[in-house]
Amino acid sequence: MKAGSHLESVLEKGAFAVTGEFNPPKGNDLSIAKRKAGLLKDCVDAVNVTDSQTAIVRMSSMAASSLLIQMGLEPVMQMTTRDRNRIALQSDLMGATALGIKNVLCLTGDHQSFGNQVDSKNVHDLDSVQLVDCVRTMRDQGTLLGGVEKIEGEIKLFIGAVENPFADPVEFRATRLGKKVAAGADFIQTQCIYDMNRFKEWMKRVLDRGLHEKCHILAGVSPLNSDRILLQWKEKTLPKIPIPEELIDRITKSKDPDEEGIRVCIEQVKELKEMKGIHGIHLMGVDLEEKFARIVDGAGLSPRPKVE
């Protein structure tokens, strides 16, 4: 075990892992956060705590991760290179591990122009691949980036990264994943999957490169509903996450689109579970915690393995 996290032990045992997304509050009011944490507690193995996702200012992922530990959940602290340079990132990694955080997810982060502080300067001193390498250096060499300065204590972290199988250039996406794995990623969470055929094409490239043997791949899923589909239509100029037409039809034409979205998601999870190289799922979406529990149940993934 590299970090001794619960997520790591689930994956190392070969169980099909379930992680879920948690957005910290846009302030310091914890009332809603506590309710969400309660909903997530028994349906996922670990909770991704976002780092001011879409550049909307929220409570820091480290603080929220620490609070989740107090509530009995295991966090995956998301960390973007957008807002902090390598001094701040490494400093936070020291603090995070001291607070009991054992999983980190290294991201570039959404551009600040999408958020609510558009005048800000982005940092990107490192990129996500370099951040993965930085965490691995801290953990495996016991030094800061550069390999010289010794760290007091041990930085035990299970290192995650992400990949969007649908972004362009599509043929390069598995190569880029390979770079993240070479840099030290232990697990990968993918962007949200709706187009299973395109996802399979990406997975084929991943399998051809043998990347599934070097890291754990968790497939990103999120239940669709009418709002989500409408949003996708509005953003058609920006097709980051493709949704096949037949899926849109199936959901919009059903009597209860919300329920149909959950049914579709359960079917997807069942299919992903049988797919070679997929070691788990990552449930995504804002304010969907109640649906997460139903999906996990419906896909036959309950109860989750107990923390040892």
DSSP conformation class of 75 = E
State yes or no: residue 20 binds other proteins (CB under 8 A).
no
State yes or no: residue 260 binds other proteins (CB under 8 A).
no
Q: Which residue's entry shows tokens 């001291």? A: 98
CB 277 → other proteins: shortest distance, Å?
20
State yes or no: residue 231 binds other proteins (CB under 8 A).
no
C-alpha to C-alpha distances, 252 to 88, 220, 230, 258, 287, nearest whole angstrom: 46, 22, 10, 9, 20
Q: Is the dihedral of CA 144, 147, 148, 154 positive or negative?
A: positive
When binding is defined by CB under 8 A, the residue of 32, 88, 98, 182 that contacts other proteins is 182
CB 120 → other proteins: shortest distance, Å?
13
Q: Is the dihedral of CA 289, 295, 300, 301 positive or negative?
A: negative
When binding is defined by CB under 8 A, the residue of 162, 203, 219, 299 that contacts other proteins is 162
State yes or no: residue 233 binds other proteins (CB under 8 A).
no
State yes or no: residue 125 binds other proteins (CB under 8 A).
yes
State yes or no: residue 239 binds other proteins (CB under 8 A).
yes
Q: Which stretch binds other proteins (CB under 8 A): 23-31, 66-74, 176-184, 221-229?
A: 176-184
Q: In the chain, where does DSSP find H-type helix?
A: 6-12, 31-41, 61-70, 86-98, 128-136, 173-183, 196-208, 226-234, 245-252, 257-273, 289-298
Closest by Cα among 250, 144, 113, 153 to 194: 250
Are 105 and 48 in contact by the 8 Å Cβ rule? The answer is yes
Closest by Cα among 2, 46, 50 to 26: 50
**How many CB atoms are closer than 10 A to CB 249?**
11
When binding is defined by CB under 8 A, the residue of 178, 223, 257, 285 that contacts other proteins is 178
State yes or no: residue 130 binds other proteins (CB under 8 A).
yes
State yes or no: residue 183 binds other proteins (CB under 8 A).
yes
Six-digit token string for 38:
């309660």
CB 90 → other proteins: shortest distance, Å?
12
Q: Which stretch binds other proteins (CB under 8 A): 111-119, 194-202, 245-253, 274-282?
A: 111-119
Helix (H, G, I), strand (E, B) or coil at 250: helix
Helix (H) / strand (E) element for 107: namely: strand 103-107
When binding is defined by CB under 8 A, the residue of 23, 52, 128, 225 that contacts other proteins is 128
Q: Which stretch binds other proteins (CB under 8 A): 19-27, 175-183, 195-203, 296-304?
A: 175-183
Q: Which stretch binds other proteins (CB under 8 A): 42-50, 108-116, 198-206, 249-257?
A: 108-116
CB 165 → other proteins: shortest distance, Å?
9
Q: Which is nearer to other proteins, 147 or 153 (CB)?
A: 147
> Residues near 189 by Cβ (< 8 Å), separated by ≥ 6?
19, 48, 105, 160, 161, 162, 218, 220, 282
Residues between 134 and 153 that touch other proteins (CB under 8 A): 134, 145
Instruction: Work out whether strand 17-22 and strand 46-49 pair parallel, antiparallel, or are unpaired.
Output: parallel
Residues between 67 and 106 that touch other proteins (CB under 8 A): 82, 86
Q: Which is nearer to other proteins, 175 or 302 (CB)?
A: 175
Residues of this chain that interact with other proteins (CB under 8 A) are: 82, 86, 108-111, 113-114, 122, 124-130, 133-134, 145, 162-164, 167-169, 172, 175-176, 178-179, 182-183, 191, 237-240
